[in-house]
Structure 1
Amino acid sequence: MDGAYMRFTPILLDVRGDDVRSNSPWTAISNVGKFSLGTSDPAGYGWAFDEYYEGIFRCNQVLDNVPAINMDTAVRNRIIGQAYFLRGLYFFHLVNMFGNVSLPLTSPKTPAEFFVKQATPDVAWKQVMSDFKTAAALLPVSYTNISGPDANQIGRATKGAAMGYLGKTYLFNKMYQEASDQFKAVMALGIYGLVPNYKDNFTEANENNKESIFEVQFSTTVGGTDLGWQGVPTSTWAKTSARAITYGAPNFGWTDVQPSFALFNEFQQEQTTGGQVDPRLDVTIFYNKPGEMLYGQLFSVVYANSSYLTDIFCRKYENGDGNKPNEFDWKSGINERLMRYADILLMYAECQNELNNRAECATYIQQVRTRVSLPDRTAEFSGYTQAQMRDQLGHERFLEFGLEGHRFDDIHRWGWLQDATKLAWLKQRDPEFNSYQPGRELYPIPQGEIDNNPGAKQNLSY
């Protein structure tokens, strides 16, 4: 649905980072990066808020009713495990984006039960941890070696996904040993790895590969033909993503979201062992380089004699390799990769730095660098101070996950918005940070929730 992974959840996760900018005429998008959303119009952020709770409502129906159904125990456990995982994921987004949020844990039976008082972030994070822990205990490592109606159904939540998100939740709460243990357990499953070609993580042809921990499944051939915007899903809805048209380059999409020049420039700070530019640049960004093609056309020809010739545009998750003429059908089948194995490695590395295991940290950073042929700097990184390593991790994550919705979460988690020096640096790189004010790291609670739920209060600064 539009507020979730179809379009607005990527926008809400992406646009506030210094890897992304927005000049969209639609303020529901452009004001995200400027920290200037108001409470009078809930377009975008309010849709996401609503749809997370729709998902939670459906998860609670499963958790309330499936345990009593007479069915195969293993199948029942998997169904319940998936419900806990998805509820944990929706709660994760809610507390991370909105702060004080309601935590409905059962299906409402009376009108009064629809109104659940907000919980503090501490309480909400504990619920997220609980849901992911329960999910991890119930879910299989894979669906390829099971029997039942869900056998071989790739894309469902797995034990690795639940452990990965549990580790991420611990990390966001500075529980570094607990997070480290979860990431190590994901690695120990022995089924994940880095794909040799970085680009394979963002194309329709190479979905659900060995690097994928969890991804949202989209398809241009499944379901109906109607675009799924808001409301109750129907069988006529297509199972497609609208990210590609929203982020698409001019003439091929709406260009509501663009990469920042800070990201473009940082890719060029270090060459590969072969003396080339970091190959992740050409996977992440369309720009005017010799022979650059997008949608089967030369960049230099498409944008000749226009300001676009010297501008840069999103390439990740775009159908720009010539297989489509543009994105104006609104329908992309490229899966949204929510968590990749590279993230497990770099989050584990971050934990090791915080636990003062600098050599271990350096080893895992280098694994991600080696995939894109960057020089082996393990020995150098091992000699870094904790503060130096934090900055190096910031650089490595910036380039590995550009346009993937991680950067602002990193900035927020690392306390950069409260650090005057770091905040000034962010403002220099991305002028959108000039309008940041304390409290705006959270989105506003939609006014409709305030009006309808007596237990809901607005976030500070709104």
Structure 2
Amino acid sequence: MKKKVLVVAALVSMGMMTSCGSEFLETTPLGVANEQMLANKAGVNAVLIGAYSLLDGVGAGPTNTASSSNWIYGSVASDDAYKGSDVGDQAQITTIERYQNQADIGAFNDKWVAIYDGVSRSNDVLKLIAKANDMSEAEKKQAMGEARFLRAWYHFEAKKLWNMVPYVDENVTDYINLPNDKDIWPNIEADFQYAIDNLSETKAAVGRASKWTAKAVLAKAHMYQSDYAAAKPLLDDVITNGPFSLVNSYHDNFRIATENNTESVFEVQMSVGDGGLGQNGSWGDNWNFPYGSAPGGCCGFYQPSQNLVNAFKTDANGLPLLDTFNEVDVKNDEGLASSAAFTPYEGTLDPRLDWTVGRRGIPFLNWGVHPGRNWIRDQSFGGPYTFKKFFAYSGENAGAESPRANSNNYRALRFADILLMRAEVAVEEGDLDTALKIVNQIRTRAGNVVVTTADGKPAANYLVKPYPSFPSQEYARKAVRFERRVELAMEGHRFFDLVRWGVADQTLNAYLAKESQKRTYLNGATFVKGKNEYFPIPQAQIDIMGASVLKQNP
């Protein structure tokens, strides 16, 4: 179910309307579908596809600040990445990066609107199903299961970002007086459970949800509440009985040629050359390209942090430096012209680094060797690295409407994430053997396929090995959390993980203390516990609903 299908249905969904007044006003404009036209099997499916289409955050308004990858809210707000580009470009994101969040920052409203537009489209599906007479009960249950899965997904996103948010179902008619005074976890869980009970075990199309998808995401919702007892049986079921498995090559999770593979639990579909003017091509991330003469040629945003790069260092046994990784930096070329001689870091590294980060002297997929400064907009501001993980190979993005339209899907939830959540549960239960087995499964896969030079040799001194043991629960917890970071780096999860673990203030203030010595714009930045775990409710929404109805976060 590629986005070439989604774009048409999205327009249909947005065109749903009721009219009143004179006969002239009751005439449906050409190209607009009303509820009567859509209350049938074909209409339900079209509007359902429209609900899926909002997963990429590309709706009627701005897109980059509402991207499905959460590159701003999950990564730039964490220790994984800088905003990038230069000091004056999209300064609102620098404010988010510095934890000086203001409710009137437009990015927050962009994200809110995209999420609740997705909720609205999901509810449209449910309303239409109730009026459709040409659908069997089985077809209705399947469509309702998918719609309620999507409604839960969108609310889950809102919950991660703002915590106390309104829950909107298909029965809500007064959208203005809808308070955010209740914890909506029970509503989210109920929608996911309905999806589990009613969806088929196989996906109707690659981009859709199945029973297994719903089980996996419900387990993740429980993990966000530290409800390990509820998460464990779901995770075990998905791991043992579900259709998912790790692919042999870590990088196969991030390229067009191998999308929708066995590791994909839920994947946001992207496409190019489909009449969507490139906006279906991961347009929410279309700033996140190397700069200048690089492929894409714009805009230099979303640059990996030095702290993240340092996390991929390994010791002589191929193990991560859990406590000391950030004491000495991986060598970089900051301040050097691309014409100057440079030898990349020669110490041992986890090979996942060079599938995640573009760095000087290392092949950048099949685009040639990364030249360093020539591909960076402002090294002194955003550092020496570029985003790489979801970049398209030359030749795999045929038909792209622009150099920055990218048909590479966003893997919103993959099996490695499921495995590492199960390892978390094992650690908290004191089952260190299970946690060790899972983490080593992930680490073993990491070494299967590495970045190579033109002559087929490893591009760097790669060394990643399994742990011999977890000697204590504290050590195991640290190892599992560290593994999540390097495995899921730059995928938009890091900030939310730090918050749910309750360590965001410790981790991010330690990060700021050292990183501000490199990125001076971070000087004075502080993460305040009890305040910065969640983003401000958008002021634009409070202005619409009233401060007594929609209450602001601390």
Q: Which residue of 1 aligns with 2:430?
A: 356
Partner of residue 254 from structure 1, selected from 276, 288, 299: 299
Q: Which residue of 2 aligns with 1:234?
A: none
Q: Write out aligned runs for 1:82-101 (5 A).
A: 82-101=146-165
What is the alpha-carbon distance in structure 2 between the residues aligned to residue 292 and residue 266 of structure 1? 20
Partner of residue 214 from structure 1, selected from 238, 247, 266: 266
What is the alpha-carbon distance in structure 2 between the residues aligned to residue 340 and residue 162 of structure 1? 13
Q: Which residue of 2 aligns with 1:36?
A: 100
Partner of residue 125 from structure 1, selected from 179, 182, 185: 185
Give CA deviations for 1:24-55 in whole Å, capped at 9, x if unaligned: 4202322222112322332x221110111111
Partner of residue 90 from structure 2, selected from 1, 17, 26: 26
Q: Which has the larger displacement, 206-215 or 444-453?
A: 444-453
What is the alpha-carbon distance in structure 2 between the residues aligned to residue 202 and residue 154 of structure 1? 16
Q: Write out aligned runs for 1:44-443 (5 A).
A: 44-70=107-133, 71-109=135-173, 112-120=174-182, 123-143=183-203, 150=204, 153-225=205-277, 238-251=279-292, 252-270=297-315, 277-289=349-361, 292-293=363-364, 296-300=367-371, 303=374, 308=379, 311-319=384-392, 329-373=403-447, 374-377=464-467, 379-381=468-470, 383-384=471-472, 386-419=473-506, 422-431=507-516, 432=522, 434-438=525-529, 439-443=531-535
SS at match of 2:71: helix
Give identity over the alignment, percent.
Answer: 27
Deviation at 1:355, TM superposition (A): 1.3
What is the alpha-carbon distance in structure 1 between the residues aligned to residue 411 and residue 498 of structure 2? 20
What is the alpha-carbon distance in structure 2 between the residues aligned to residue 400 and residue 304 of structure 1? 25
Note if contact 1:244-1:318 (Cα within 8 Å) is conserved in structure 2. no
Note if contact 1:202-1:317 (Cα within 8 Å) is conserved in structure 2. yes
Q: 1:305 to 1:75 in 2, by over 3 A?
A: closer
Give CA deviations for 1:200-251 in whole Å, capped at 9, x if unaligned: 11111111000000010000033432x5xxxxxxxxxx42212553221122
Q: Which has the larger displacement, 248-257 or 400-409?
A: 248-257
Q: What is the total number of aligned residue pairs between the two structures?
A: 430
Q: Which residue of 1 aligns with 2:551?
A: 457
SS at match of 1:156: coil
What is the alpha-carbon distance in structure 1 between the residues aligned to residue 240 and residue 424 of structure 2? 18
Q: 1:416 to 1:69 in 2, by over 3 A?
A: same
Q: 1:345 to 1:23 in 2, by over 3 A?
A: same
What is the alpha-carbon distance in structure 1 between the residues aligned to residue 100 and residue 366 of structure 2? 34
Letter of the 2:438 partner, please give it.
Answer: Y
What is the alpha-carbon distance in structure 2 between the residues aligned to residue 359 and residue 60 of structure 1? 44
Note if contact 1:5-1:216 (Cα within 8 Å) is conserved in structure 2. no
What is the alpha-carbon distance in structure 2 between the residues aligned to residue 106 and residue 19 of structure 1? 38
Note if contact 1:53-1:90 (Cα within 8 Å) is conserved in structure 2. yes
Q: TM-score, normalised to structure 2's length?
A: 0.72
SS at match of 2:70: helix
RMSD (Å), alpha carbons: 2.8
Note if contact 1:7-1:242 (Cα within 8 Å) is conserved in structure 2. no
Q: 1:29 to 1:127 in 2, by over 3 A?
A: same
Q: 1:448 to 1:307 in 2, by over 3 A?
A: closer
Deviation at 1:323, TM superposition (A): 5.6
Q: 1:8 to 1:194 in 2, by over 3 A?
A: closer
Letter of the 2:551 partner, please give it.
Answer: K
Deviation at 1:195, TM superposition (A): 0.7
What is the alpha-carbon distance in structure 2 between the residues aligned to residue 327 and residue 286 of structure 1? 24
SS at match of 2:301: coil
Q: 1:154 to 1:428 in 2, by over 3 A?
A: same
Give CA deviations for 1:376-421 in whole Å, capped at 9, x if unaligned: 32x412x22x2222211121111101100111111111111355xx
What is the alpha-carbon distance in structure 2 between the residues aligned to residue 328 and residue 15 of structure 1? 25
Q: TM-score, normalised to structure 1's length?
A: 0.85
Note if contact 2:104-2:540 (Cα within 8 Å) is conserved in structure 1. no
Letter of the 1:319 partner, please give it.
Answer: A
Deviation at 1:106, TM superposition (A): 2.2
Larger radius of gyration: 2
Q: 1:318 to 1:451 in 2, by over 3 A?
A: same
Q: 1:182 to 1:430 in 2, by over 3 A?
A: farther
Structure 2 unmatched ranges of 5 or more: 1-57, 320-346, 448-463, 517-521
What is the alpha-carbon distance in structure 1 between the residues aligned to residue 230 and residue 493 of structure 2? 21
What is the alpha-carbon distance in structure 2 between the residues aligned to residue 216 and residue 63 of structure 1? 22
Note if contact 2:267-2:412 (Cα within 8 Å) is conserved in structure 1. yes
Give CA deviations for 1:309-346 in whole Å, capped at 9, x if unaligned: 98111101112557679996431111011001000000
Letter of the 2:550 partner, please give it.
Answer: A
What is the alpha-carbon distance in structure 1 between the residues aligned to residue 378 and residue 180 of structure 2? 48
Letter of the 1:315 partner, please give it.
Answer: K
